Amino acid sequence: MDDQFLPENRLRWTHGRPKRPIWPTEPRLESIRFLAFSILHRHFPNLANEHLLDVQLLSEKITKKLFILSHPQLTKKYIFQVLLPVDPFFLMENEVATLSFVHHRTSIPVPPLIAWDSSSDNLLGYEWSMVEMLDGVPLGTLWPQMSLEEKLRLAEELAHIFAQLWSQKFDRIGSLYIEERSLEAVQSCADDSNIFQTCFEDLPSPTFRIGPMVSMPFFVGRRCFLPSNRGPFSSSKSWMKAQIRLELEYVITGQEILQLSPELSPEDINLKSSFIETLDEFQDVCQDYFRALPSVFSSDEERCFSLCHHGLNEENILLDPDTYKIVGILDWDMTSVLPDWLVQEYFQTFHGLPPEDMSNPPSGLQPGLDREFQKWNVFPKRLPDLEAADELQQRADETLRRLGVPVQTNPASEEKKHFYIGVLHLGNVWELAQQYLRGLPHFQKEYQQFGWSSGLDDPISDSE
């Protein structure tokens, strides 16, 4: 088989769930120091003594490592981000564009961007970016000492942030990019010109475009090497179809790889050991999802898409420790433009069951098997009780209504979210995906009439 589906120098991922990328080499502190000092010296010509620039590991996340930079001659600190090549070029360019967009189009506080390199062809050997460190304390640190009234004010402030993102409407599903930037343009740059200096206050607002979606389902494991449609998408239906098709392609190419390379095991290519035995059943489930697609997502659905930060949590919301006001929102990587029926789910910041409560799972789902049906809850382990959570959510909802943001979802939206979570499970535990599908009212009716996997004329057609 052509090694395009399994390059020898590919990034490796851990087995099991959740899959995590493995660092081929540790980022060298000396290289970070050299690059960072070079950047800072351009901004501060009087800065001296590179060896005095202190570089300390701040945190490690799934796709990146963050280092804190300090120098005795500087009053500010900086964050240097080193990125794994999970989605080369696109992940970094999307984050940079999103930071710029939010800065220019909203009043949401984000870290000022200093420089970035969306190519790993550099001294460090990794893509990287550098931002100014915001003064603030993570919400998780301050939450236990905040009074209920202070938390209610925070709920209002978060609602204002959600409303600003909601107001940014687009005609496509995908990820943000700066119009002037493209993969071809970057690849044709000279060696040093790929590093872009920027200062938000000095730059005019760039032009933005919606481009390929930067999302884990499109690049985790071998997926980034497979031919796939990553958008932008004109509808929810075409987006879901692309994700189902990619999962089907993932297992089909996996079977081909194992047939042509018998020395490999399924685990070597991030598949389950029981992959071969369950392959036919998995393909049947994918076909059932294709068949259910037109019933859940009609061709004439309202096409309203909004910018969504879907990773808000107690660590990336920064507060002033004296006033408890929000001074920064972090982690804009993989921020996407999504359908409003899904974006609304992320407004349910304070609502939801505690993490271990599976007393009321969705229809057709076995208790104890899944956690993803719950609301995206920013502070699940720090809420004293559900009553407090409901009070906070109520305050946030009231604020959103005043700002003109709808907070009520309808049965059709709930069915779409149910379908969406099921599709996500195709890439993890497909048996759960099957259970989610069985819980769809539309599909239950068809199942009673036709049974499972009744056949499709063209299940992976690109037509609407």
CATH number of the domain at 264, please. 3.90.1200
**Among 192, 208, 224, residue at a domain's last position:** 208
pLDDT at 72 exceeding the cut of 50:
yes
Task: Give the pairing type, strands 54-60 and 305-308.
Answer: unpaired
Task: Indicate whether 119 and 247 sit together in one domain.
Answer: no
Using the predicted structure, report yes or no on whether residue 383 has a pLDDT greater than 60.
no
Mark whether 217 and 198 lie in a shared domain.
no
Shared domain for 242 and 196, answered yes or no, is no
**Domain of 112: which CATH number?**
3.30.200.20
Across 69-73, 206-210, 362-366, least confident range? 362-366
Dist CA 429 CA 432 (whole Å): 6
pLDDT tens-digit series, residues 39-67: 999 889 999 999 999 999 999 998 999 99
Q: From CA 428, how far away is CA 423, in angstroms rounded?
A: 9
Domain count, the chain: 2
What pLDDT is attached to residue 345? 79
Residues 96 and 222 in one domain: no
Same domain, yes or no: 17 and 158: no
Dihedral sign (CA 392, 398, 402, 408): positive
Domain around 75: 3-133+179-208
Same domain, yes or no: 417 and 270: yes
% of the chain surpassing 70 pLDDT: 80
Same domain for 390 and 325: yes
Domain boundary among 161, 188, 208: 208
333 and 439 together in one domain: yes
In tens, the pLDDT along 85-138 reads 999 999 999 999 999 999 999 999 999 999 999 999 999 999 999 999 999 999
pTM metric for this prediction: 0.86
Q: State whether 94 and 187 are in the same domain.
A: yes
Q: What is the pLDDT of residues 423-452, one digit of tens each?
A: 999 988 888 888 888 887 766 555 544 454
Q: Does 49 share its domain with 141?
A: no
Let me know: does 432 contact 369? Beta carbons within 8 Å: yes
The verdict on 24 and 85 lying in the same domain is yes
Pair (296, 435) in one structural domain: yes
For residue 345, give Cα distances in angstroms to 188, 308, 360, 420: 41, 10, 18, 12
